[in-house]
Structure 1
Amino acid sequence: MQPSTSFSSTADPARTSFDDAPLNRFHLRITALTFGANFSDGYHLGTIGIALPAIAPAFGLGPAWEGMLGASALIGTFVGSIALGWLGDRIGRQLLYLLDFLLIAIASLLQFFVHGPWELLALRLLIGIGIGADYALGPTLVAEFVPRRLRGGLLASLTVMWTFGYVAAYYLGSYLVELGPDTWRWLLATGAVPAILVVLLRIGTPESPRWLLGRGRVDEARAIVAKHLGPHVDISELIEQPKPEKTGFSQLFTGGHLRNTIFGTLFYNCQVIPYFAIYTFLPVLLARMDLGIDDFLSNGLLNAFLLAGGIGGLWLVARCTRRGLLIWSFLVMAVCLGIIAVWPHGPLPLILGLFLVFTFVMSAASNLEQVYPPELFPTALRGSGVGLINGASRVGSAAGTFVLPIALAGVGFTASLLGLTAVLIIGVISSALLAPETKDIALD
C-alpha cells in the first residue's frame, strides 16, 4: 500500500474509524521516529561487547566488572522502563518521548572522558534509563496511532532496527578497535550521533489522542487527529468507550490484567536472557566452540543471519498468529541450542548450521517483543504495562549477561548453554499455557 494523506472516495469519509484509517505519512513518521530506541539499544550493546576487551586491560578489570559493564545499560533500562512508563500514563507520552533521547545523547558523549569503571558504569546506567523510557513510550505511541491491520508489521519493524544497531556496532567497532588502545572511547561516544538526530526529529511530535481522551481532553484529541490523520477520521468510538474506574499501577496485578502481566514478563525474559547473554559475549563463545574458521567470517555470517531473521520476521508476524509464532520459535531455538551445548565440537556444518538457524529464529521471533506488549493492556495502563514488561525483561537479560562470563569460567561451556536452553524451554511451556491471541484486535 502506498502512503497517502487522502482517503478513498469509495467509502464514506465521515465514517472512517480511527482504528481503520488508511495508512498515511504520519503513521510512517511516528514509527520511524521510534526506531531510535531499538537501534540505540542494539548499538550500545554491540559497542560495549566490542569495547570490553580493550577496556578491561586499560582499567584492570576482572570477569565480574566485565559482566557488570556489559549489563549496566540493561539495568538502567529496567529503571527507565518501569518508572517512566508509569509516568507516561500519568503525564502523557509526548514530553518524555523527547527528553529520554536527550539523556542518551549527553551520557553517550560523556563516555569519551571517563577515567575509571565507576564513571563508565554510571553513564551506561543513564543511557539505559533513557532507552528503557523509550521502550515503554515508543511502542505505546505507535500502537495508539497506527491502524490495527498494520499494527503488527509496524511494531515489528522496530525490533529489526535493534538488529541493525547491533550489526552496525560490530562492523564499526571491529574497525575502530584495531586503530589503537584508546579508540574504544571513540566507539562508545559514537552512540551520541544517532541520539542527537532522534532528538531533533522528534520535536513537534503530538500527544497520543487515546491518552488525551482518557483525560477527557476531547477537543485536543480531535485537533491532533484532524491535523495528522485527516479531518474525516472519526474518533466517536474511542470517545464512547467506557473509562476504567481504577488506573493505578497496581491494576496490572488484578483481574484479567494479571494473566497478561505474567505472560508478557515470562515470554519477554525467556527471549532476551539467551539473546543478550549470547550476543554480548559472542566472540568468547565462538572461541570456546573453535569452529575452525576465521573469526571475522563466523561473526559476519551470524550478523548476516541476525539481519535476515529480523527482516524475515516481519513476514512471519504478518502471516502467523502471535501465539503460534512464539511457541514454535521457542521450541526450535531450544533444540538448536541444546545440541550445540552438549556437542560443541561436533561436525562444523552441523554446529555452524544450528547456530545460524538459532540466530535467524531468535532474531525473527524477537519482533514480537515490540508487538505483543502494547496489545496486552488498555490505554490507561499501556505505558505502565509495556514499561513493566520491558523493565522486567532487562532484569533477566542483565542477570544473564552478568552471569554468563562467570559461568563460563566456573562451570564451563556446556553447563552454561544448557542453562540458557532451560530458559527457552520455560518459554515454550509458559507461552503454551498463557499466551493470548491478539492479532488484529482493536485496542481499548
Structure 2
Amino acid sequence: MSRTIDNAPYTAFHRRLALACSGGPLLDGYILSIVGVALIGMRPDLGLDTADVSLIGAAALLGMFVGGALFGVLTDRIGREVMYTADLLVMMVCSVLSFWVDGVWAIALLRFVLGLAVAADYPIATSLLAEWLPARDRGRLLGKQIVAWYAGSVLAYLVGFAFLQFVGPGSWRWMLASSTLLCAVFLVIRRGSPESPRWLAAHGRVGEAVAVVEKHLGVRVDGRELMPDPAGAGGPGGLRLLWTPPYRRRTLFCGLFFFCQVGPLFAMLTFGPQILGSFGMPGGTVLDTLGTGLVSLVFLIGCYPALRLIDTVGRRPTIVWSFALMIAPLVLLGLWPSAPALVAVAALSAYAFLCGGPNVLDWTYPNELFPTEVRATAVGVATSVSRVGAAVGTYLLPLSLTGLGTGPTMLVAAGVTAVGLLVCVLWAEETRGTALGAANGAPAGRASQAGPQAVPVR
C-alpha cells in the first residue's frame, strides 16, 4: 500500500482534484431537483397525470441503477481517467435536447440517459479522488462530495424560483436545459486531471504510476510501494469479489444503508412542493418551491457538523446515531398529518439536518472498505442499490400521497429509515484513520504517522 499518498501533505493539487470530482454530484443534485420545479409548468402544458409525473421522477434514478453497476465495473477495468470527460459530454447533450422534448416518453428517455451518465461519474470521480487523498483528509473530502450534491439541489431550486418569478411556469424547458452551463464549467475544470497511480500500479503500469506521483505530489517513490496489498489481491475479480467473504457483508451494508437513506430523501426532494402542499402550504408557484429549497439548504448545512464528527467521534457512531434521530421527525409528521405548514417545514428541516451523517458516508464507506481492484465497482453497486430505493420512493410517493394520505406516507418513510438503523447497528465498521490499501478483509491498519517515505523531487 502507498505510504507516500496516505501521508502526503494536502496541496493545491488535491484541492483542484476535489473540485473537479465534485462536478458529478453537483450535477446530480441539480438535475434531480430541477425537474421537481419544472413539473409545475410541465404538468399542465403536456397534460401529465400522476403516473406520468411518477415516471418522469423515477426515470433518471432507473438510469443510475443501470449505470452505477455497469460503469463501476468498467472503471475498474479500463481506468478512472478514460471515462472522466465522456460522461459530462453525455450530460451536456441530454441537457440541450431536453429543451425540445414534447412528450412524457421523450422526457423519460432523456432523463434515463442522464441517470446513466451521472451514475458513471460516481465510481469514476470518487475512486479517483480517494486514491489520491491523504488518509487524514480522505473522510472530509469524500464527504464534501455530497455537499456538492446538495449545493446542486439548492442551486436548482434557486434557478427554478427565478424562472417561475420572472418568466413563469412555461419556462420549464429552460429549466431542464439549464444544466448545460454547469456541464461546460466542469468540463473546463476537469482538464488535465491525472489517472490514479494506485490503479496504474495494480494493472502493471508501475512506471507510469511513479511518474504521475512525482509530477503531482513532487516526490520520488519506490514503485513497489504503489503495488496493491497482496492480501487484497488475487481470487475472483469484479462483481464476484464483492460477494466473497469478507466483502459480502460490506457490500450489503453499503448498498442497504444507502438504499434506506435515499429512498425517502429523493422522494421528498423531487416532490417537496407536493408534500408541503399536503400540509397546507400554498402551492403551484413560489411558496412551496421556496419551502423545498429551504429544506434542501438544511440538507447541505447538516453535512458540515457530520464532516467533523466522522473524523473525531468516528464513522460508526455518526451513522448509527444519525439514523436513530432521523426517525423522530418522520414519525411526528406521520402521527400529525394535519400539522400546520410551518411545522411540516420545521420537521422536514430537522430530518434534513440529521441526514448529514449518512450523507457524508455515502461514498466514504464504499471507497474505504474495498481494495483498488474493485473500489469503483463497489461504489457503482452501492449507487445502483441506493437508486432502486430512490426510484421506488420517487415513483410511489405521489401515488401514496393520493391513495394513502400524508400520515401513512410519512410513517412508511420512518419504517424504511428504521431498517437503515438496524443495518448500521449490525454491520457498520470503523474506518477512521485507516490506510486506503488496508481494506483487504483483515483488521484495517492505521495510516503511518511518521510521514511519507519518499524523496522530494528537486
TM-score class, shorter-chain normalisation, is over 0.9
Match of 2:272 in 1: 282
Of 196-205 and 385-394, the range deviating more from structure 2: 196-205
User: In the alignment, is residue 46 of structure 1 matched against residue 33 of structure 2?
Assistant: yes
Once the 2 structures are TM-superposed, how far is the Cα of residue 305 of structure 1 from its aligned partner? 1.8
Match of 1:205 in 2: 193
Distance 1:284 1:347 in 2: 15
Distance 1:70 1:310 in 2: 25
Match of 2:263 in 1: 273
Distance 1:348 1:401 in 2: 22
Distance 1:236 1:54 in 2: 59
User: In the alignment, is residue 248 of structure 1 matched against residue 238 of structure 2?
Assistant: yes
Match of 1:4 in 2: none
Q: Which of 249, 259, 272 is the aligned partner of 2:249?
A: 259
Retained in 1: the 8 A contact 2:327–2:418? yes
User: In the alignment, is residue 336 of structure 1 matched against residue 329 of structure 2?
Assistant: yes
Structure 2 vs 1, CA of residues 269 and 226 (structure 1 numbering), >3 Å: closer, same or farther?
A: same
Once the 2 structures are TM-superposed, how far is the Cα of residue 290 of structure 1 from its aligned partner? 2.2
SS in 2 for 1:96: coil
Retained in 2: the 8 A contact 1:278–1:285? yes
Structure 2 counterpart of 1:91, one-letter code: I
Q: Which of 142, 152, 158 is the aligned partner of 2:145?
A: 158
Distance 2:436 2:115 in 1: 29
Structure 2 vs 1, CA of residues 396 and 412 (structure 1 numbering), >3 Å: closer, same or farther?
A: same
Distance 1:70 1:268 in 2: 19
Structure 1 counterpart of 2:271, one-letter code: F
* Runs (4+) off by over 6 Å: none
Match of 1:216 in 2: 204
In the TM superposition, 1:276-315 aligns within 5 A as 276-290=266-280, 295=288, 298-315=291-308
Retained in 2: the 8 A contact 1:269–1:397? yes
Retained in 2: the 8 A contact 1:86–1:383? yes
Structure 1 counterpart of 2:216, one-letter code: H
SS in 2 for 1:97: coil
Match of 2:454 in 1: none
Structure 2 vs 1, CA of residues 171 and 57 (structure 1 numbering), >3 Å: closer, same or farther?
A: same
Q: CA RMSD in A?
A: 2.0
TM-score (norm. length: structure 2): 0.90
Once the 2 structures are TM-superposed, how far is the Cα of residue 110 of structure 1 from its aligned partner? 0.8
Structure 2 counterpart of 1:280, one-letter code: T
Deviation string 1:309-334 (CA, Å, 9 cap, x unpaired) is 13333223332311111111111111
Structure 2 vs 1, CA of residues 432 and 240 (structure 1 numbering), >3 Å: closer, same or farther?
A: closer
TM-score (norm. length: structure 1): 0.92
Deviation string 1:83-130 (CA, Å, 9 cap, x unpaired) is 111001111110111111111111111100112111111111111111
Of 176-185 and 85-94, the range deviating more from structure 2: 176-185
Q: Which of 239, 243, 246 is the aligned partner of 2:227?
A: 239
Structure 1 counterpart of 2:403, one-letter code: G
User: In the alignment, is residue 74 of structure 1 matched against residue 61 of structure 2?
Assistant: yes
Q: Which of 376, 399, 405 is the aligned partner of 1:406?
A: 399
User: In the alignment, is residue 27 of structure 1 matched against residue 14 of structure 2?
Assistant: yes
Match of 2:446 in 1: none
User: In the alignment, is residue 423 of structure 1 matched against residue 416 of structure 2?
Assistant: yes
Structure 1 residues without counterparts, runs of 5 or longer: 1-14
Distance 2:281 2:104 in 1: 33
Deviation string 1:252-301 (CA, Å, 9 cap, x unpaired) is 11111101000001110011001101111111111111268954664454
Structure 2 counterpart of 1:127, one-letter code: L
Match of 2:443 in 1: none
Match of 1:5 in 2: none
In the TM superposition, 1:100-249 aligns within 5 A as 100-178=87-165, 179-233=167-221, 236-239=224-227, 241-242=229-230, 243-249=233-239
SS in 2 for 1:436: coil
Once the 2 structures are TM-superposed, how far is the Cα of residue 246 of structure 1 from its aligned partner? 2.8
Distance 1:19 1:180 in 2: 51
Deviation string 1:165-209 (CA, Å, 9 cap, x unpaired) is 111110110121341343111111011111122122222221111
Of 50-59 and 173-182, the range deviating more from structure 2: 173-182
Deviation string 1:22-73 (CA, Å, 9 cap, x unpaired) is 1111111111101111110110111100011211222211111101101111
Distance 1:22 1:342 in 2: 51
Distance 2:67 2:294 in 1: 33
Once the 2 structures are TM-superposed, how far is the Cα of residue 349 of structure 1 from its aligned partner? 6.9
Distance 2:18 2:379 in 1: 17
Identity %: 38
Structure 2 vs 1, CA of residues 362 and 409 (structure 1 numbering), >3 Å: closer, same or farther?
A: same
Match of 1:435 in 2: 428
Match of 2:456 in 1: none
Structure 2 residues without counterparts, runs of 5 or longer: 438-458
Structure 2 vs 1, CA of residues 297 and 133 (structure 1 numbering), >3 Å: closer, same or farther?
A: closer
- Give the length in aligned residue pairs: 430
Distance 2:186 2:125 in 1: 12
Distance 2:396 2:345 in 1: 24
Deviation string 1:355-409 (CA, Å, 9 cap, x unpaired) is 2211111245311112111111110011111101111111110111011001111
SS in 1 for 2:392: helix
SS in 2 for 1:51: helix
Retained in 1: the 8 A contact 2:87–2:117? yes
Structure 2 vs 1, CA of residues 240 and 396 (structure 1 numbering), >3 Å: closer, same or farther?
A: closer
